[in-house]
Amino acid sequence: MTELELKYGCNPNQKPARIFMESGELPIKVLNGKPGYINFLDALNSWQLVKELKEATGLPAAASFKHVSPAGAAVGTPLTDVEKKIYFAEDMDLSPIACAYVKARGADRLCSYGDWAALSDVCDAQTAHYLALEVSDGVIAPGYTDEALEILKTKRKGGYNVVEIDPNYVPKAIEHKDVFGITFEQGRNNYEINTDLLNNIVTDSKDLPENAKRDMLISLITLKYTQSNSVCYVKDGQAIGVGAGQQSRIHCTRLAGSKADNWLLRQHPKVLGLQFVDGIRRPDRDNAIDVYISDEYEDVLAEGVWQNTFKVKPEVLTAEEKNAWIATQSGVTVGSDAFFPFGDNVERARKSGVSYIVQPGGSIRDDHVIATCNKYGIVMAFTGMRLFHH
């Protein structure tokens, strides 16, 4: 048996704590830092996501995890100039795997604060340079270049958590989990997500372009490792809104949709034109942008707090301007880990520019959900496979 002793479990009072295998060697090496219990939960879940995402798309993949669910996930397609600006990656040399992480991290920068990063490919210096700028707990990857490792070892006063995983490791087919002293056993979810799942298009509109198929795969694989109930909005190779752990499906759709809307609002000319005070920290800039695009901003203006953040008093982004900007969104894909029970999910998704939906199907109201899609010309595919994750 091989094991790694941990400082404590989920909380400081939960001792002793360790990770171990009854037989064989642990497939991980800690190259720097001292990862904790939750760190390893994030690391192992996020690694599975990026590994499967690369296998399904053929592209380098990355994820940004918080509390055992992804705040973002993406494949390594090039960033636009606007994306570089909103992700604070201007004038940076970005490799494909660096692009994947910048996009995964940038989808929801507030939720990614203090994240665990996962990379499908060897971590290079470009990715390490970006990680070094962000508030992050650790990273897992199949390897690190010497330069990347040296960069990461300087982070968090030398305590940044760096984990290397054997990319050829295959876990046992049966997994176990203890809850309240009782052991649960189940077959591991080895269900392969690929384009064959997307053939059952149930709507009148059947036009499903290749980029939408790729985005459907990203949404489904992201959902496979997101705490249920969950809904995921994807555009141009990256998750732009993840709604996790909600008891109601419509609340998942609303939560993820609001995050997708915020992602788009960060590209509004007024947001791009914000003038921050010199030397502002990246997290403070993230928080300021989030407040600026929220409904609370006029109250903040009245309090005069803007002077601590902006060089000049920003003009209010009105509700009418926000709604008009969000209405320009299109070509978004949304996935759901279980069926949509009502057409209200489609109605909400449409407001965030959703043109494509992928979900298991199987509701007694499938006909109503399909009819709602048909009303808006949305393409919907049924996979027949639920993706709950607990």
pLDDT in tens, the chain (390 residues): 689 999 999 999 999 999 999 888 999 999 999 999 999 999 999 999 999 999 999 999 999 999 999 999 999 999 999 999 999 999 999 999 999 999 999 999 999 999 999 999 999 999 999 999 999 999 999 999 999 999 999 999 999 999 999 999 999 999 999 999 999 999 999 999 999 999 999 999 999 999 999 999 999 999 999 999 999 999 999 999 999 999 999 999 999 999 999 999 999 999 999 999 999 999 999 999 999 998 877 776 666 667 788 888 888 999 999 999 999 999 999 999 999 999 999 999 999 999 999 999 999 999 999 999 999 999 999 999 999 999
Segment 85-93 long-range contacts (CB within 8 Å, at least 24 positions apart): 85/272, 86/266, 86/267, 86/271, 86/272, 88/133, 88/282, 88/285, 89/130, 92/126, 92/129, 92/130, 93/126
Question: What pLDDT does 338 receive?
Answer: 96
Give the per-residue pLDDT at 313.
86
Distance CA 136, CA 156 (A): 9
First-to-last CA distance in the chain? 26
Question: How high is the pLDDT of residue 57?
Answer: 97
Distance CA 234, CA 254 (A): 14
* Structure confidence at residue 309 (pLDDT): 87
What is residue 302's predicted lDDT score, i.e. its pLDDT?
60
pLDDT (0 to 100) of residue 54 = 98
125: how many CB neighbours lie within 10 A of its CB? 19
Residue 217 contacts by C-beta under 8 Å, 6 or more apart in sequence? 53, 56, 57, 193, 194, 195
Burial class of residue 274, CB neighbours in 10 A (0-12, 13-18, 19+): middle
d(CA 250, CA 176): 31
- Say if residues 334 and 357 touch (Cβ distance below 8 Å): yes
Q: Name the residues annotated as catalytic.
A: 66-67, 229, 390
Q: How far apart are CA 366 and CA 379, in angstroms?
A: 14
Burial 223-234 (b: 16+ CB within 10 A, else e): bbbbbbbbbbbb
Token pair 């499908």: residue: 120
Instruction: Report the distance separating Cα 285 and Cα 8, nearest Å.
Output: 33
Identify whether the C-beta of residue 374 lies closer than 8 Å to the C-beta of residue 203: yes
Let me know the angle formed at the C-alpha of 245 by 30 and 212, rounded to the nearest 5 degrees.
85
pTM, rounded to two decimals: 0.96
Residue at token pair 């109601």: 248
- Alpha-carbon separation of residue 72 from 137, 257, 297 (angstroms): 15, 14, 25
